Amino acid sequence: MEFTITYDTLVRAGISCTSAFVPDKEGGPSQTSEGEGYVATCSRGVRITADTGLQSVKNDQYQDYDVVVVPGGAKGAETISTNSECLKIIRWQHEAGKLVA
């Protein structure tokens, strides 16, 4: 819910969005073994296909993004808070005076 409602609202408002898959563990697989792309499984089993992987965001100059939205949810918060690349992006965004939501 936390991701889908936020993402849907932004898209409906005509805002260009990029969702990025963050693996459960750093260095973990960035794509599913079935080749489905970047699929995150939510706590209730809902599967969401992200636009890209975290590595692509990092390589695509994350400094170009106006806002970084960190969705809630216990598992997602744990995953993001323990990923050094996520923390680097969030820290940079904050220090640059850009929005973190």
- Domains (range + CATH), the chain: 2-100 (3.40.50.880)
Q: How confident is the model at residue 26 (pLDDT cuts 50, 70, 90)?
A: low
CA torsion 54→73→45→17, rounded to 10°?
-40
Q: What is the pLDDT of residue 28?
A: 52
Which of 27-41, 55-69, 72-86 has the least mean pLDDT?
A: 27-41
Cα distances (angstroms) measured from residue 57 to each of 19, 43, 89: 9, 24, 9
